[in-house]
Each structure stands twice: as structure tokens, then as C-alpha cells.
Amino acid sequence: NPSSAEDANPDSKDKPDEESKDDTKPKEILPLDSIRLSDTALSATFSGKDWGIEGVIRISLTLTEKDGEQKDRAAGIGSIVWPDGSSAITNAVRVDAPADPEKPEDAQPEAIAEDKKDDTDDDRKSAMASFEINYPLGAFGRKEPPAVSAAVAFVHATIWTCGPEGIIEDGTLVIDNGRIVAVGKDVEIPEETQIIDVQGMHITPGIIDCHSHMATDGGVNEATQAITCEVRIGDFVDANDITIYRQLAGGVTAANILHGSANPIGGQNQVIKLRWGMTGEDMKFAEAPQGIKFALGENVKQSNSPNATTRYPQTRMGVEQLFRDSFEAARDYAKKMDAWQTERCGLPPRRDLELDALREIVEGHRWIHCHSYRQDEILALLRILEEYNVTIGTFQHILEGYKVADEMAKHGAMASAFSDWWAYKFEVYDAIPHAGALMHKQGVVVSFNSDDGELARHLNQEAAKAIKYGGVPREEALKFVTLNPARQLRIEHLVGSLEPGKHADFVVWNGDPLSNFTRCEQTWIDGRRYFQRDEDAEMLAQSLQKRNTLIQKILSSREEMRKVGERDFDPAALWPRYDEFCHHFNHQNGKK
């Protein structure tokens, strides 16, 4: 007895009429499929043919009575899901089972079975579900990458430049061919420029996350080696990771992709732009300098790993010694390589990819991004680096950085911190939410990072915490997730602020970007609009429609459902679709 069928689906002709629900008339007998019955629940499917509906209807009930109880009250309450995905609340009443219909005396079992087969074959022989190729394959993919916009002017906006112009009320931002052309209050708009009125909205630089693990396979940790600097995150950037699109919805335009913190000297990082729909190679921020992941603390000495006692180092002193030994080895390697280049006598020294990366560090060509918590370890690493005349790129997380902020400022170290994480393990018990503000006041360049796929979707709100915990001025707080991470990644001449000549990476917000009630309306990268809220709603509706189509195909096939964990599917069936995806994508981007 569906209670709101017409409200659930406006096409009332596709729902049972009121006459069919009249309790005074004989009950309709519908054969059920995929029946699952327990003491408390019943679920099943049945064909909508008898109700004049094309497709399979699903019903799910929570049973509310037991055998022998009053028969005129509801025996079950639940929902009915129509083939188009809409649903309605329904209830069920227990009735006496009808008598079996009499069979004709001359009916043959084979004929009856054949009739049943004919009735079901038409349902099963439906055409294969087919959808347009999108990029990447899956939900929220695009038919093709967004085009670079010609000249566009955003007018009547509150513009947070995060640059010398500060905050501009009723301002204008002009972009053309992927770059910012002009920004200001009285801007001359060139002819043939598309004008977009964003009255009441705010525009900020794109948010930059200086510590992210998206577009990778989990933490990507190699726990069996202490030094893994020969490997590169850039060799595996998963352009299909839906986290990329979700973070675009929070205004993130660039991110520093790092692996986990299992190694004192880890692998090479990769700075990317969130160019959703492009390949992993095309997402790389080509102008960003090379970096590498270091780590300190409990993770690298494996304090929290059960029975992990065979890998060196096991102490903080051992970690410090490993750094010294590695830098000395890199210096010796560089001398041998340079000597052979000069003398060209005999065989050249054997190439070592690990030492190549370490050499780049000691020669100042590769920036260190170091996972860190405690002040003693932070100071120890700073002293080692100063012995080798190396300037660190950033300390990541740096929860006790407020204790050594003056030493960090003298060295030139920058802090990519958590806004207010603390007490989640022993070595972070002294962390405080005022740390970012205290380091900022000592002259340290501070950013707030996510280290998390979900947190990155509201880094603007994390920046606002610097106002609550420490009284950082509003514009400076926004720089914690825009200009400052750009400075830490050495890309501030290209992104991080809205200034003429820089990349057209920016976000349009429907209100104050530091408010919890504000949402991102548009995200632009290189003058391409990669996220728009209206378009997002359309793609969501398309995804739900595809989902319902596939569900109906599965249900109408009447095939036995696989159990959880079963994997007997041959992926070869998907290869032609993936080949078509690759072919069309490369063609669109001028590649062979």
C-alpha cells in the first residue's frame, strides 16, 4: 500500500491507481523475486508490468508483527522504490494465503514451463546500457576538458587579492588566455570581453594545500627501507581519484602530493594543479621546483609498529645519524661524479638514483618538506642542515613549532601546520591551536594544510581558525591557504595571489570566504572553469540516472547476485571502452 506514490513520481500514469489499492477488492497477486526474509525484515523485487510500469520495482519492509497477532494492523513498514529511482513510504498488512489456482487437466508441465520462459525472456533480452565516454571514466567525468576562456571580466565583486592591493570592494577581475590581465576597482575592460556580474560575491586566489595525499594509493609508504629518495610520487598521479573533483568543490586549485611518513628520508613529492579530466601527467605543475619528503618522530623509528625491531633507525639519535651519513655519502658521490666529468679517465662512477636525489638536496636544488612534531627533533634537523649549508623548504605539521619559532625564522624555515589538531598520539600532547598565529608573529611563513581528503574541502574555514586562535588579521589568515603555501612551494610568482600576469587560478564564493556558511560557486584554473555549482547539480542528476539504469539492468536480468567479496568478472569487457577513452582524450589534446 504505497502512501505517496504520486508525490514520489509525478508521472501518475506509471503508478498503480487508487482502484488497485481499494481494500474491498480482491488483492492482486504479484510474483516476487530476490526474496530475502528474516525475523525482522523482508525485501524483494517484482516486475512493474502488472501495474503498467516499465522496469523492476523494489520493496523493503521492517516487520512489525509476528504470526498470530492481530491481522488488521500493519505487518510491515518500509519503502517502495520505483524504476526511476524515486521512492515512497509503504506498509503491508498480513492476509490469508489464497488457494492455488486449478490447473487445466490437459496442461503439460513442459508447456507451462515454456510459457513462463517466454514471459521472462523478453525482460532479460534488453539492450546493453550505453553511456557517453567521459573524462575520467566514472562519476562527474566530463565529455571533454573545459576550454580556455577568452577575455572574461568579473565585475562588482569583493576581491581578496592576497597581494599589494589588499581587499577591493566592488572590484573587477579580468582574465584572458589563462592569465590575469587586470584587477582593481577602476579597471578598463577591453572590447569583446565577456562580462560576468558577480554582485555580492567574493573572489579569492585558488586555495593551495601544501600537504595532501590525494591522487595516490593510500599513504604510499615503504616501511621496509629508511631511505627511499629514488622513488617519485610523480610517477603515479591517479587522475581518476574522485577526491580531486571534491576538492575543486572546496576551492582547491593546487596541492603538494606527498607519500606517508614511514621513512626518515622518503620519496620525491609532486605539486599538481587539480585539472580534473586531464591525465596525471597533465596535472603536474611543471614550473614547481622539485621537493622531497623527510620525516621525524615516532613514525620513522617505528615506535607505534608492533614487533618492528629490525629496521634501522630505532631511536631519535639514530635518525639524526642517518641524516649525517646520507649527506656525507651524497657529497662523496658528487665529488666522484664531478671528477670523472673533468678527467674523463676510465669508467664513470656507477649511477645511483638514491644518491642523485641526495646530491640535489645538499646542493640546494631540491627542497625538503619534513614531517615533524617535537621541538628537540626540529632543532636537531635545523642544526644538521646548517652544517651542510642547506635551507629546509618546510616543516610539515610542526605542532611544537611555536616553541622554536625564533630559531625557525633565523634559519628561513617555513611552517605548513595543522590548524587545531592535537593529542591524537603521545608526541603531540604539547600541540596548541595558537601555534600557527604564534609562529606567524615571529616572522615564520605559515600555512595550514589538510593531510586529509575531506578536510581539504574546507581549508578556507581552517584559515579562519587563525583569527579565533591568535587574532591573525583576516586577510593574513586567508594567506595561510593561498599565498603562503605558494611561497613554501616556491611558486608564488605564478599563483597564490590575484595580480596581473599570474595564472588565472581563483575561486568565486557566495559570501565571505572565511565564513562557515559560505560555499564555493566556481573554481577556475588556468582560465578554465573546472567547477561550477549549477553544473555539479546537473552531473549529479546524470549520475543518479545512470545508476538507476544500471540497477534496472541488473534486476531485470534475474541473475543470481554475487556474494560480498566475489570477483569473477573478466575486466577484458571494459578494455574497448578504456581504449576509446584514451584515443579520444589524446586526440583532443593533440597527442599521438
Q: Is 209 helix (H, G, I), strand (E, B) or coil?
A: strand
Residue 370, in any domain of the structure: yes
Angle at 456 between CA 260 and CA 133, to 5 degrees: 95
Find the domain containing 296 and state its range.
223-245+260-270+280-451
Q: CA-CA distance, 520 to 204, in Å (whole number)?
A: 10
Which domain CATH number covers 412?
3.20.20.140
pLDDT tens digits, 370-416? 999 999 999 999 999 999 999 999 999 999 999 999 999 999 999 99
Residue 140, in any domain of the structure: no
Q: Is 156 helix (H, G, I), strand (E, B) or coil?
A: strand
Residue ending a domain, choose from 451, 473, 506: 451
pLDDT for position 25: 45
pLDDT for position 585: 54
pLDDT tens digits, 94-148? 777 777 666 555 555 555 455 545 554 554 555 666 788 888 888 899 888 898 8
In the predicted structure, residue 586 carries a pLDDT above the cut 60: no
Q: CA-CA distance, 214 to 273, in Å (whole number)?
A: 12
Same structural domain, 304 and 439? yes
What lies within 8 Å, CB to CB, of 215 at 6+ separation is 237, 238, 239, 241, 243, 244, 257, 272, 280, 283
Q: CA-CA distance, 233 to 579, in Å (whole number)?
A: 25
Same structural domain, 92 and 235? no
Residue ending a domain, choose from 100, 121, 141: 100
pLDDT tens digits, 352-368? 999 999 999 999 999 99
Q: CA-CA distance, 246 to 530, in Å (whole number)?
A: 11
Read off φ and ψ for residue 110, nearest 5 degrees.
Answer: -65, -40
Residue 459, in any domain of the structure: no
What is the CB neighbour count within 10 angstroms for residue 73? 11
Same structural domain, 229 and 96? no
Residue 166: exposed, middle, or buried by beta-carbon count in 10 A (0-12, 13-18, 19+)?
exposed
pLDDT for position 60: 93
**Domain tally, the chain:** 2
108 versus 572: the higher-pLDDT residue is 572
- The mean pLDDT value of the chain amounts to 87
pLDDT for position 4: 45
In the predicted structure, residue 257 carries a pLDDT above the cut 80: yes
Residue 318, in any domain of the structure: yes
8 Å CB contact between 415 and 354: no
8 Å CB contact between 287 and 219: no
Same structural domain, 230 and 361? yes
pLDDT for position 239: 93
> What Å distances lie between residue 236 and 63, 134, 155, 208, 240, CA to CA?
50, 21, 40, 20, 11
Take residue 214 and report the three cell numbers written for it: 590525494
pLDDT tens digits, 305-339? 777 778 889 999 999 999 999 999 999 999 999 99
Same structural domain, 241 and 93? no
Q: What is the pTM of this model?
A: 0.84
- Percent of the chain residues past pLDDT 90, beyond the cut: 64
Residue ending a domain, choose from 45, 70, 100: 100
Which residues on neighbouring strands pair with residue 295, listed in sequence order?
Answer: 371
Residue 57, in any domain of the structure: yes
What is the CB neighbour count within 10 angstroms for residue 571? 8
What secondary structure letter does DSSP report for 12?
Answer: G
Of 252, 289, 248, the closest CA to residue 448 belongs to 252
pLDDT tens digits, 429-455? 999 999 999 999 999 999 999 999 899
Residue 251, in any domain of the structure: no
Residue 193, in any domain of the structure: no
pLDDT for position 114: 53
Region of poorest pLDDT, from 25-29, 48-52, 165-169: 25-29
pLDDT for position 133: 82
In the predicted structure, residue 31 carries a pLDDT above the cut 90: no
Half-sphere exposure of 358 (CA within 13 A, CB side): 25
Same structural domain, 86 and 233? no
Query: E strands within 194-340?
Result: 194-197, 202-205, 207-212, 252-257, 265-268, 270-273, 291-295
pLDDT for position 384: 98
pLDDT tens digits, 265-279? 999 999 999 999 999
pLDDT tens digits, 464-520? 999 999 999 999 999 999 999 999 999 999 999 999 999 999 999 999 999 999 999
Residue 33, in any domain of the structure: yes
Same structural domain, 434 and 287? yes
Same structural domain, 85 and 228? no
- Rg, the chain, Cα only: 31
